[in-house]
Structures are given as structure tokens and as C-alpha cells.
Amino acid sequence: MVQCIMVGCDLHDKSMLLKIGVGREKPVVRSWGTDRAARGAMIQDLLWRAEQVQGSRIVFAYEACGFGFRLHDELTAAGMEAYVLAPSKMERSVKHRKGKTDEKDAQRILDIIRAHVLAGVEMPWVWIPDLATRDDRELVRRRLSVAEDASAAQTGIRWLLKRSGVDSVPSSCTLDYWHQLGRLAEGKLPAGVSAALSSWMRQTEWLWQETERLDAQVLALSQTERYAPVVAALRRHKGVGVLTAMVYLTEMGDLSRFANRQQVGSFLGLTPSSYESGKNDDRKGHITRQGPGRVRKVLCQAVWTAIRVAPDQRAAYDRIVQKNPKHKKIAVVARMRVLGVRLWHEGLAAQEAMQAGPVPA
């Protein structure tokens, strides 16, 4: 009988602890580094173990982390079944959270693999994007990160002025606002505060310039053959610009992997949480907030823009608000979900048209 090598891995920045099990036998514990040489040695060790038990199948799993999908790629290239698990989909008891160790985490992942291999239980794995999508994500995510840093820097300036008793500076980032900050930094404040303000201003200016540079790169990416038709389709919706479209496409990846709008809403974390027990069979809570928070953020911005500029979007928003006058956020979330699903429909149609190619004459 062909045996299956099952490996649960607790992966960290500089180390990984493996629990290696064959069938229902007691697992073996091994530790490795995470550099290239250590990863290669670990893969060779697993292949050797498979030869010893005449096993033709090795199933390896680890939780998604900052290490990304590099280990997954190397394991797959070596002929193994590799899975990256979603931590948010792995149930953890209070006891587990209070007694967390690397070995227990590896054992937990091994148990999940065993349930999948021996009993057919579905694993909470995440979709693995292709290399091009991963590369594009890095640029788009960096653009969002720089904008967040710029916003944080402006908040730092505002609180520095409040701590220093300066209340006369306008709050908006206008040219007059920036000139007043410059005059304050030149000597109208104590030396320490003036130096700190100058530092904040230099940082903010650099972040604004970096945002412009990244905007140009994101725009160039959106105009490539890979994205141009799909971005054009998404931008037909009010409030959706180049950045919103690129965030949506890079985070969602292959749109054809979603079968229906329910799956799209669930992935975006825009479906209500549920708690049902006994006779209480319809208890709904806040949205789950699972999935990519970056997409929810740009969808929220797009919805507010559409509400301001499009009468039909404003009317749809107002109809929901009338049902929940004290909870206007419900209307925003509802419109976010509608927009997210519509972008999926439009993007999927555009992707399928691209794959079909030009219509023959």
C-alpha cells in the first residue's frame, strides 16, 4: 500500500518546525532554517523519507505569513502537494490561545492535513496567485502604503501643533496651510518643536512626491495588455478610478475562480456574520471583515464618490438610509457590496472577452 507523507509546518522568519507523519503513526519533529540552503535540505530530507516508505505522495501545509508563497513554489517544483492555509479560517479554542507553542501549531496543521487526506475534510487553504499577479500586487500595495504614511504624517503635524498650542493654522492641506507651517518652522516655535515640525514637513513632502511617482507606475501598469481592457470596463462605474480598479484586480486575482455573487461578497468580507443556536436561527451581526481589507477601503471611497456625483447612486443610498436612519453605515456597506459584485461581473466579462480573442471577420 502506498503511504502518504504528511507535513505540518510552523513557519517563522528564521526557522520552521515540522511535524512529519506517515498515516496515523506518531509524527517526527524536525527543525530547519528558512534560508535557501536549509529549504533545499529540508526538501531533500522529505523526498528521502518518501523513498523509505515507498510513498509517492507528500502533502505539506503551512499558515499564510510574511514569507509569502516562495516555499509553496519550491515544494510544488519538487513534486509535492503544497497548501498555504488561511489563519482566519482555522478555529482556535481559548485553551489553544493560552497555550500556544510552535510544536502545537505544527501539530494542529498536521491534524488538518490528516483530516483532509484520511477523511476528505476540506482544508482552509488560500488561493495561490500566479507570479505576475504577485509582482503587480507589490506595486499597488506599496502605493496604498505610501498614501497611508502620508496621511499619518499629516496627522502627526496636526497633533504636534495642538500640543504646542497652535490653533490658528487651517486644517486643510492647502498651499496657504503649507506656507503657514513653513513660517512656524522658521522660528515662531520653540527649537525642539520647530525641528520636529521641519522633519514632519520634509517627510510629508517626500511621501507626496513618492505617491506621484507610484501613481505614474500604477497608471502605466493599468495600460498594459494584461489590464487595459478590464480596467476600462471597471472604470465605467462612477467613483471607480485607475487605482481602485487596479487594487480590485490585483487583490481578487483570477475572477473566474468565483462561482457567484455570494462567493464574491464572502471573499470581500461584506456579508453579515451569523450566530445561530437552537431556536435563535436568524441572528446576524456586523460584516465579517474577512478577506482583503485594501479592497474594502477603495470600495468605500468609490461608493462615497459615486454618492456625491451620481444621482441614481445617491437615491439608492437614501432608500437604504430611510430604513435605518440611525445606522447610515449599513447603507454604505450595502452599496459597497453591490459595487464589488458589479465590478466582478464586468471584470469577468472583460477577462473572458480577452481570452476569446478578436472576433474573426
Determine the length of the chain: 361
pTM of the predicted structure, to 2 decimals: 0.90
Question: The C-alpha cell of 113 is what?
Answer: 492535513
3-state SS string for the chain: CCCEEEEEEEECCCEEEEEEEECCCCCEEEEEECCHHHHHHHHHHHHHHHHHCCCCEEEEEEECCCCCCHHHHHHHHCCCEEEEECHHHCCCCHHHHHCCCHHHHHHHHHHHHHHHHHHCCCCCECCCCCHHHHHHHHHHHHHHHHHHHHHHHHHHHHHHHHHCCCCCCCCCCCHHHHHHHHHHHHHHCCHHHHHHHHHHHHHHHHHHHHHHHHHHHHHHHHCCCCCHHHHHHHCCCCCCCHHHHHHHHHHHCCHHHCCCHHHHHHHCCCCEEECCECCECCCEEEECCCCCHHHHHHHHHHHHHHHHHCHHHHHHHHHHHHHCCCCHHHHHHHHHHHHHHHHHHHHHHHHHHHHHCCCCC
Q: How far is CA 296 from the centre of its chain?
A: 10
Residue 359: the pLDDT is: 47
Burial state string for 300-339 with b = 16 or more CB within 10 A and e = fewer than 16: bbbbbbbbeeeeebeebbeebbeeeeeeeebbbbbbbbbb
For 199, phi then psi, to 5°, come to: -65, -45
Provide Rg for the chain, Cα atoms: 26
| pLDDT tens per residue across span 336-360 | 999 999 999 999 999 999 888 764 5
Determine whether 64 is exposed, middle or buried from the number of CB atoms within 10 Å of its CB (0-12, 13-18, 19+). middle
- Residue 58 dihedral angles phi and psi, to the nearest 5°: -125, 120
Query: Given the C-alpha cell 477577462, which residue does it identify?
Result: 351
Give the integer Cα–Cα distance in Å for 21 and 113.
10
CA distance 335 to 218: 26
pLDDT in tens, the chain (361 residues): 568 999 999 999 999 999 999 988 899 999 999 999 999 999 999 999 998 887 778 999 999 998 889 999 999 999 999 999 998 888 777 667 677 899 999 999 999 999 999 999 999 999 999 999 999 999 999 999 999 999 999 999 989 988 888 877 766 677 778 888 888 888 778 889 999 999 999 999 999 999 999 999 999 999 999 999 999 999 999 999 999 999 999 999 999 999 999 999 999 999 888 777 666 656 577 888 888 999 999 999 999 999 999 999 999 999 999 988 888 899 999 999 999 999 999 999 999 998 887 645 4
Place of cell 470596463: 233
**Buried/exposed code over 173-182 (b: 16+ C-beta within 10 A; e: otherwise):** eeeeeeebbe
Q: How far is CA 211 from CA 74, 135, 218, 219, in A?
A: 34, 18, 10, 12
Which residues does 314 contact at the CB level (< 8 Å), separation at least 6? 307, 308
Q: Say what the pLDDT of residue 361 is.
A: 46
Q: Tell me what pLDDT residue 2 has.
A: 64
